[in-house]
């Protein structure tokens, strides 16, 4: 049984903001509950302003919640933030936030090593390893100011390797970098930090595809609330239905009404005729395997028709995400 290393227990957080010269209280986080197990890669998905960064700052001990508490390895963020900071390192997003622009890569890493109490001889070894792993050796003497956004992000990843906290928080680390660098960052987090180093990782993004590719579990934040939480492998089951497009081998002179009526008898949710040789069928997830076999038998054996292709359109995290945001928006308008 895995150990719970982060326990978020009903936290809330509000800020004072000015709207039309009036001070207004905006609730950024509202009664947030979730746990993170040791070694998990948990994705926090949500649009801009959902509360992702504020949540991460609280978990890392930088901010205190207005209500309730977060426990990291059993230590309270409210009462013991300095201890919590020893277990958690937060890696910022766009532009290399958190780096000293006038210092070169090596001096930045030396500073972080000293800040986290790492002995100088050990820090030297870790810095050398980090530069090699992340292909930063040829840039190590350059001030961060002159580095590209991709190199700055790799420098922040090097910080994670030097500090080696058991929990790493990545706040939109691929924002503002090109697709190749973004993919390199994801691969490094998944294949090295998670698979090899067994680090517990929290990763935020507003790209569903990125979360689905990288994480074990997703938590969707919207307007400061958790509106969805599930393991990535269970997402298809959560959507309830699957669409299947069946294309016949050639146009056939058949009675479509008879064929469709026979297919409907198998218990499908919906049928759309795309053309005179293609249909899209909606089937409940829990009976999908049984129903699709019956439909294929009906077409091929009962109606003596040849099937050219069957395309199963499994719903993605993006489908769920957009549907949830739209539903939440409609509820508020109502």
| pLDDT per position as a tens digit, 269-297 | 888 888 778 888 888 888 888 999 999 99
CB-facing half-sphere around the CA of 97: CA atoms within 13 A: 13
| Short-list 317, 321, 226, 234, CA closest to 34 | 226
| Short-list 114, 102, 110, 176, CA closest to 142 | 102
d(Cα 309, Cα 245) in Å, to the nearest integer?
A: 8
Fold that domain 4-236 belongs to in CATH: Rossmann fold (3.40.50)
| pLDDT per position as a tens digit, 106-118 | 999 999 999 989 9
d(Cα 113, Cα 110) in Å, to the nearest integer?
A: 5
141 contact partners, CB below 8 Å, separation of at least 6 = 104, 105, 106
User: How, if at all, do strands 88-91 and 167-171 pair?
Assistant: parallel
Task: Kindly report the pTM of this predicted structure.
Answer: 0.82
pLDDT of residue 334: 34
* pLDDT tens digits in sequence order for the chain, 334 residues long: 789 999 999 999 999 888 878 888 899 999 999 999 999 999 999 998 899 999 999 999 999 999 999 999 999 999 999 999 999 999 876 666 788 999 999 999 999 999 989 999 999 999 999 999 888 999 999 999 999 988 998 899 899 889 989 999 999 988 877 888 888 889 989 998 999 889 999 999 989 999 999 999 999 999 999 999 999 988 877 777 888 999 888 766 667 788 888 998 888 888 888 877 888 888 888 888 899 999 999 988 888 888 889 998 888 899 889 988 887 666 554 3
| Short-list 250, 238, 91, CA closest to 169 | 91
Parse the chain into domains and list their residue ranges: 4-236, 240-331
The yes or no reply on domain 240-331 and CATH 1.20.1050.10 is no
Beta strands in 20-114 (DSSP E): 22-37, 41-45, 67-72, 75-76, 88-91
């Amino acid at each position: 049984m895995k150990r719970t290393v982060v326990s978020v227990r009903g936290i809330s957080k509000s800020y004072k903001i000015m709207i039309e010269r009036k001070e207004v209280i905006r609730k950024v986080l509202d009664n947030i509950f979730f746990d993170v197990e040791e070694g998990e890669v948990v994705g926090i998905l949500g649009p801009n302003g959902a509360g992702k960064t504020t949540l991460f700052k609280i978990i890392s001990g930088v901010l205190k919640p207005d209500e309730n508490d977060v426990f990291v390895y059993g230590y309270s963020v409210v009462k013991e933030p300095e201890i919590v900071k020893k277990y958690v390192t937060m890696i910022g997003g766009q532009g290399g936030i958190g780096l000293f622009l006038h210092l070169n890569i090596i001096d930045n890493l030396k500073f972080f090593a000293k800040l986290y109490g790492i002995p100088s001889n050990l820090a030297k070894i870790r810095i050398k390893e980090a530069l090699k792993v992340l292909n930063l050796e040829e840039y190590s003497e350059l001030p961060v100011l002159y580095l590209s956004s991709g190199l700055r992000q790799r420098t922040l990843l090097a910080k994670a390797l030097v500090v080696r906290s058991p929990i790493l928080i990545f706040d939109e680390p691929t924002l503002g970098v090109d697709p190749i660098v973004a993919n390199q960052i994801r691969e490094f987090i998944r294949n090295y930090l998670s698979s090899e180093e067994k680090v517990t990782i929290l990763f935020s993004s507003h790209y569903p595809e990125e979360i689905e590719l990288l994480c074990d579990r997703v938590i969707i934040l919207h307007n400061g609330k958790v509106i969805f939480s599930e393991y990535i492998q269970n997402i298809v089951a959560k959507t309830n239905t699957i669409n299947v497009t069946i294309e016949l081998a050639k146009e056939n002179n058949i009675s479509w009404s008879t064929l469709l009526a026979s297919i409907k008898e198998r218990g499908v949710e919906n049928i759309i005729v795309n053309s005179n040789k293609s249909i899209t069928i909606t089937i409940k997830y829990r009976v999908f395997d049984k129903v699709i076999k019956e439909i294929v038998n009906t077409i091929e054996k009962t109606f003596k028709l040849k099937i050219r292709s069957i395309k199963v359109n499994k719903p993605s995290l993006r489908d769920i995400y957009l549907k949830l945001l739209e539903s939440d928006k409609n509820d508020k308008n109502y």
